């Protein structure tokens, strides 16, 4: 390993001052070895380090912070004092909850120092898992020594973006290694975000925003030409803020974990998978870790906190708890005496978190799809239904009246008819609603699809539309209503079926863009999965094609094995739930893309661990069919959505389906639509290229992958 001359604390003004004043903290050199009762060597100890479990500064738990060296590893621990809580409301349980049991420093990602102009210094310790401990307030000083001691044992460097952030063991990037080894003492921060982090920043607009607040780092003290990056990269700041938000919610995480493990393991907190850490021989168990994948187990038990703000913070990590489906009674409450939906946003939100009881879908779906106006009354809807039924019959007559002689001279019609004819008998036939010979529902599928191909002749019919229609007909149980709901749905997902696949390409593109930003900002990593996809020619995200095309239909765990051996029965339960949640457009119009990311995240380690290439990955994704659990996936997707918020949303170019095309470019025919899609994509790609740095070929790769 390269010897790295990193930040030297000797030139830190605060540090020097604290040294002069004679700090009360004890820094023990090797000569003054002190044994910790648990068997390690105590290299740092500080009293009166406290946390404030609530927003009130008066409520505080004080304790002793220690760094203990055992073998070659350094551990950090913080033990609250017994019976010294400043407030009686804080129980013994709280004490246990916050205790930091020996934690290997290697598990720490970063430490942020806060030096408020008034008040005490505090540190926030962020773990590599992304979770953070509550702020540790140093009432007796000692922050510098704490950092200096850590620095003696592990690599600790200042972040390039924020002089108060210290990154632990973060030297995977050879460039960073080189830079840091060339660094003058503490003059310039060393850890830079990778060039890729800047190459693909959210949008051109946010690029500009970034540029506005960016300061140039090209100061004279630098010896080598460094890639230009922005010291105050708001994206980077954002991620740090985000992690700090996480630190505020650790109380819930810890409470829950302790609840879960108290029964089994008494006082001891084990790793959340129940494993006892084996790398800390003589010391007690490590504090609970909550890696993202395991969070779900825990979160099922979480009670809804009363404080709405806390509730929101909690959602940042693992999404809000799912609710039971919207019931008949609740639905009634949403309507006024004449049948108007009084608060449509509240309704959408309710559906977003719980879905709809099956028997109500028929009533609520037309609103979600935009077939009914939320402001319409019972009477207006009744009228609309009959008027629309007549309209439907008229359109249907258009093709029904084509004589065989006329059809002979109408190739397009014959082709569509033939295709639909072949496809309706291959649509959800294992589902009882469509199985059996001469099933009349198959004929309804046929009539509706052919009628739609006349209603929207430009889009016509494409395989996959049948998959959207079959659940709609099953729910609506009425030909004309199913047709109009289908037509409304096609207003949204129709671009999935553009002949040139521009709608699909736009979504896959947005997905890849979002993923890159996500890995960098949220995972705080140099996006290993992205690099992995890049190396393995997977950056086109084609493996998500079917998910997006059919909005996860056939992917959800819809297939049940009945008691008869080998008899599979298809139900739609999961698909219907997912669809109605997506259709609410609550939080985002593109929740389906977040769902993709949630699933990829879940299997990321598997994908990379098994070194899947494009073919293997495609096969793996295919084999997930029927294994995607919707409720937890939705929570993950929601968390993703909340997590990156605007920054994430900005990765999705305007006009990406199911968003409507840009207003200033409304066009009528599909040909123009295609040109528009092409133009938008061209623009997006151009932006991407403009923001790309020399070694980042992502954008170029993407350009070459589109086959127009």
Partner 1 sequence: MSYAYLFKYIIIGDTGVGKSCLLLQFTDKRFQPVHDLTIGVEFGARMITIDNKPIKLQIWDTAGQESFRSITRSYYRGAAGALLVYDITRRETFNHLASWLEDARQHANANMTIMLVGNKCDLAHRRAVSTEEGEQFAKEHGLLFMECSAKTAQNVEEAFIKTAATIYKKIQDGVFDVSNESFGIKVGYGGIQGNAAGVGTSTSQGGGCCG
Residues within the interface to partner 1 (CB under 8 A): 419, 422-423, 425-430, 435, 462-464, 466-467, 497-501, 504, 540, 542, 545-546, 549-550, 554, 614-615, 618-619, 622, 707
Cβ burial 107-123 (10 Å sphere, 16+ → b, else e):
bbbbbbbeeeeeebbbb
CB of 430 vs partner 1, minimal distance in Å: 8
Which residue lies nearer to partner 1 by CB, 205 or 421?
421
Which residue lies nearer to partner 1 by CB, 570 or 699?
570
Contacts of 28 (CB under 8 A, 6+ apart): 34, 42, 43, 44, 45
Contacts of 13 (CB under 8 A, 6+ apart): none
**Lookup: tokens for 17:** 């001052």
CA distances from 336 to 264, 265, 374 (A): 51, 53, 11
Residue 65: helix, strand or coil by DSSP? strand
CB 320 within 8 A of CB 311: yes
Cα distance between residue 520 and residue 590, in whole Å = 20
Handedness of CA 61, 66, 71, 74 (dihedral sign): positive
Which residue lies nearer to partner 1 by CB, 166 or 543?
543
CB of 464 vs partner 1, minimal distance in Å: 6
CB of 505 vs partner 1, minimal distance in Å: 8
Which residue lies nearer to partner 1 by CB, 4 or 462?
462
CB of 404 vs partner 1, minimal distance in Å: 18
Cα distance between residue 578 and residue 580, in whole Å = 6
Radius of gyration, alpha carbons of the chain: 30
Where helices occur in 550-629 by DSSP H, the ranges are: 573-583, 591-602, 604-609, 614-623
Which residue lies nearer to partner 1 by CB, 312 or 620?
620
CB of 434 vs partner 1, minimal distance in Å: 10
CB of 458 vs partner 1, minimal distance in Å: 13
CB of 588 vs partner 1, minimal distance in Å: 25
Which residue lies nearer to partner 1 by CB, 170 or 423?
423
Cβ burial 220-232 (10 Å sphere, 16+ → b, else e):
eeeeeeeeebbbe
CB of 707 vs partner 1, minimal distance in Å: 5
**Lookup: tokens for 159:** 């972040």
CA dihedral (96, 102, 108, 113) in degrees, to 10, reads: 70
List, in sequence order, every residue forming a beta bridge with 44; answer none if it has no partner: 27, 67
Which residue lies nearer to partner 1 by CB, 233 or 428?
428
Which residue lies nearer to partner 1 by CB, 18 or 496?
496
CA distances from 114 to 252, 265, 592, 598 (A): 23, 36, 39, 33
Instruction: Please tell me what DSSP assigns to residue 659.
Output: S
Which residue lies nearer to partner 1 by CB, 102 or 495?
495
Cα distance between residue 474 and residue 46, in whole Å = 67
Which residue lies nearer to partner 1 by CB, 501 or 527?
501
CB 43 within 8 A of CB 67: yes
Cβ count within 10 A of residue 263: 7
Place of tokens 């059919």: 550
Which residue lies nearer to partner 1 by CB, 411 or 664?
411
CB of 266 vs partner 1, minimal distance in Å: 47
CB of 484 vs partner 1, minimal distance in Å: 24
Which residue lies nearer to partner 1 by CB, 107 or 428?
428
**Lookup: tokens for 317:** 């990590």
Where helices occur in 99-161 by DSSP H, the ranges are: 143-153
Which residue lies nearer to partner 1 by CB, 324 or 436?
436
CB of 656 vs partner 1, minimal distance in Å: 18
CB of 415 vs partner 1, minimal distance in Å: 8
CB of 610 vs partner 1, minimal distance in Å: 15
CB of 575 vs partner 1, minimal distance in Å: 13
Handedness of CA 567, 570, 573, 575 (dihedral sign): positive
CA distances from 253 to 56, 126, 260, 554 (A): 20, 14, 11, 34
CA dihedral (604, 605, 611, 615) in degrees, to 10, reads: -30
Nearest alpha-carbon partner for 128 in 516, 524, 606: 524
Which residue lies nearer to partner 1 by CB, 491 or 537?
537
């Amino acid at each position: 390993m390269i010897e790295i001359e990193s930040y030297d604390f000797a030139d830190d003004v605060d540090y020097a001052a604290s040294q002069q004043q004679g700090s009360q903290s004890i820094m023990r050199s090797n000569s003054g070895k002190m044994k910790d009762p648990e068997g390690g060597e105590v290299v740092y100890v500080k009293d009166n380090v406290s946390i404030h479990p609530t927003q009130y500064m008066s409520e505080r738990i004080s304790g002793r912070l220690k760094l203990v060296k055992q073998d070659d590893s350094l551990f950090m621990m913080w033990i609250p004092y017994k019976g010294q809580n400043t407030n009686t409301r804080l129980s013994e349980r709280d004490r246990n909850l916050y205790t930091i049991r020996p934690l290997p420093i290697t598990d720490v990602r970063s430490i942020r120092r806060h030096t408020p102009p008034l008040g005490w210094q505090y540190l926030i310790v962020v773990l590599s898992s992304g979770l953070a401990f509550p702020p540790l307030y140093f009432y007796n000083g000692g922050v510098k020594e704490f950092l200096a001691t850590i620095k003696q044992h592990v690599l600790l460097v200042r972040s390039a973006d924020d002089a108060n952030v210290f990154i632990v063991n973060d030297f995977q990037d050879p460039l960073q290694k080189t830079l840091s080894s060339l660094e003058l003492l503490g003059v310039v921060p060393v850890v830079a975000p990778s060039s890729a982090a800047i190459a693909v920043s959210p949008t051109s607009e946010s690029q500009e925003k970034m540029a506005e607040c960016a300061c140039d780092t090209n100061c004279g003290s630098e010896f080598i030409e460094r890639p230009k990056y922005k010291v105050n990269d708001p994206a980077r700041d954002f991620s740090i803020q985000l992690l700090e938000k996480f630190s505020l919610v650790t109380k819930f995480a810890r409470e829950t974990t302790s609840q879960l493990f108290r029964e089994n393991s008494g006082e001891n907190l084990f790793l959340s998978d129940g494993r006892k850490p084996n790398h800390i021989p003589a010391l007690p168990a490590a504090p609970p870790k909550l890696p993202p994948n395991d969070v779900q187990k825990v979160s099922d038990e979480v009670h809804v906190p009363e404080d709405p703000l806390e509730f929101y913070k909690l959602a940042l990590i693992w999404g809000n708890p799912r609710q039971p489906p919207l019931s008949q009674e609740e639905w009634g409450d949403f309507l006024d005496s004449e049948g108007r939906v009084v608060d449509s946003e509240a309704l959408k939100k309710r559906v977003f978190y719980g879905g709809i009881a099956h028997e109500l879908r028929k009533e609520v779906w037309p609103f979600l799809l935009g077939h009914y106006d939320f402001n319409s009354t019972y009477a207006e809807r009744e009228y609309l239904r009959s008027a629309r039924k007549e309209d439907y019959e008229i359109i249907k007559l258009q093709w029904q009246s084509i004589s065989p002689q006329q059809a002979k001279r109408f190739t397009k019609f014959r082709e569509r008819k033939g295709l639909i004819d072949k496809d309706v008998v291959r649509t959800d036939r294992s589902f009882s609603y469509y199985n059996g010979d001469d099933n009349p529902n198959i004929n309804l599928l046929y009539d509706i699809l052919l009628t739609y191909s006349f209603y929207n002749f430009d889009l016509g019919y494409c395989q996959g539309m049948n998959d959207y229609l079959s659940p709609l007909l099953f729910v609506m149980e009425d030909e004309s209503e199913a047709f109009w709901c289908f037509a409304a749905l096609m207003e949204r997902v129709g671009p999935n079926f553009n002949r040139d696949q521009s709608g699909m390409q736009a979504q896959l593109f947005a997905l890849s863009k979002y993923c890159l930003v996500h890995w960098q900002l949220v995972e705080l990593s140099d996006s290993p999965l992205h690099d992995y996809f890049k190396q393995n020619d997977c950056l086109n995200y084609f493996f998500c094609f079917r998910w997006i095309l059919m909005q996860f239909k056939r992917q959800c765990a819809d297939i049940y094995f009945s008691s008869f051996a080998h008899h599979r029965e298809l139900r739609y339960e999961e698909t219907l739930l997912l669809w109605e949640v997506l259709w609410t457009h609550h939080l985002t119009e593109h929740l389906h893309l977040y769902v993709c990311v949630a699933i990829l995240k879940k299997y990321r380690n598997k994908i990379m661990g098994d070194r899947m290439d494009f073919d293997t990955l495609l096969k793996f994704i295919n084999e997930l069919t029927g294994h995607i659990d919707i409720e937890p996936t939705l929570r993950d997707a929601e968390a993703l959505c909340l997590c990156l918020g605007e920054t994430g949303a900005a990765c999705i170019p305007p006009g990406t389906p199911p968003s409507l095309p840009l207003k200033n470019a409304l066009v009528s025919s599909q040909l123009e639509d295609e040109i528009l899609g092409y133009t938008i994509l061209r623009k997006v790609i151009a932006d991407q290229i403009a923001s790309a740095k020399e070694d980042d070929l992502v954008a170029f790769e993407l350009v070459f992958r589109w086959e127009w």
